[in-house]
Structure 1
């Protein structure tokens, strides 16, 4: 890790800030969200990195948003086009992961050359945005399907991250383990970036299901608003 080029952590840190900023914009510039995100990033930057525990608090918050009436009410105020564009950051994250692999900080399984196909979510996000919100030619059910596929790809990437990290859950890559996520700023991947990406997909699905319920299967995104 000590030989890592300086641009790698800087690029990763920039992607974290960009994700928070984009979610903040999607949430109508919520001050509460911004304060919470800043506090959580600061806390994760100083506490000992225990990989499974990093994601538990934000995951519980996501569940609360999805399971409560007030939480779903907040979700329905989010800007769907901005949530969709947020996923382009997954391209940057996958590039960083590949650099970490090159410097022996993670196994190849966690990269797009291995079994992590999450880069497909990032590459497809601009196309989905264009056809859904610029050309207005994407039915709601297609957007729901795309968000579900993005969640599947995310869980696949997370699974390989957990199964290759040193500890009781490690079952793969013992000769080349995932050690990067024990170091700052990469501890922010499971604790900040993954929850933001997951929430963006899940919130989009909740919002789209409600729209589809009201408008039917032939509803097009141009009627959002």
Structure 2
């Protein structure tokens, strides 16, 4: 990573910070007084998580012994995030937390995808990941980021968009995100790699880009599942 321009790392670190701030605002806007009171604790836990991921990547845990199976970044970075999301949607207190978050704020968080996609394109130009993971390849994720503030404003501020359309937007955005997740896994250097051997996806193994698969992506996925769950329940009640 010595040859990577510093501004790319700084830009992505600031994107991660913005994501954290937006999520903090979301929690502080919860409809539950108890959840709002726990906002600081939740953010502290997330900061500790980010620090752990930074430490592991800076200690070269993720970019060494790349033939280990399963890949270490999946074991120590992605899997814990998946477990937390599953618990939140199955545990009584977790569902209470999920159902208290305002969909307006959750939707606004998706705007960070614009900055993520800019970062990915810069990383491609610096030979840190394959072109297919960018908006110049087969990744239209930036469209979700661009449309997010409009969906948030017209759907939840102005009530100009029907719930079914909001639901469709969330489903499509989640599918697009899962597409890039699959591409990222299949192009990363590991026994699971199936594509892009000429230019593998190595960026996510280094600091600060390790925060993308271990924090930003899981948070965006959590937001979409939350919105889908809430919208399906709301539409079902109407019908």
TM-score by length of 1: 0.92
In structure 1, the partner of 2:15 is 15
The separation in 1 between residues aligned to 2:113 and 2:157, in whole angstroms, is 21
Unpaired runs of 5+ in structure 2? Answer: 29-35, 63-71
In structure 2, the partner of 1:220 is none
| Count of residues paired in the alignment | 216
Unpaired runs of 5+ in structure 1? Answer: 218-225
CA RMSD in angstroms comes to: 1.3
Q: Tell me which of 141, 152, 170 is aligned to 2:164.
A: 141
In structure 2, the partner of 1:3 is 3
Following superposition, the deviation at residue 213 of structure 1 comes to 3.4
In structure 2, the partner of 1:78 is 101
- Partner-residue secondary structure (3-state), 1:3: coil
Q: Deviations over 1:106-140 (max 9, x none)?
A: 01011111111211210110221122023211111
Following superposition, the deviation at residue 208 of structure 1 comes to 2.1
Greater displacement, 184-193 / 19-28: 19-28
8 Å contact kept, 2:8–2:122: yes
The runs of at least 4 consecutive aligned structure 1 residues that moved more than 6 Å come to none
Q: How does 1:28-39 map to 2 (within 5 A)?
A: 28=28, 30-39=39-48
Greater displacement, 85-94 / 50-59: 50-59
Q: How does 1:84-163 map to 2 (within 5 A)?
A: 84-163=107-186
Following superposition, the deviation at residue 68 of structure 1 comes to 2.2
Following superposition, the deviation at residue 212 of structure 1 comes to 2.6
- Partner-residue secondary structure (3-state), 1:2: coil
TM-score by length of 2: 0.86
The separation in 2 between residues aligned to 1:32 and 1:210, in whole angstroms, is 29
8 Å contact kept, 1:75–1:206: no
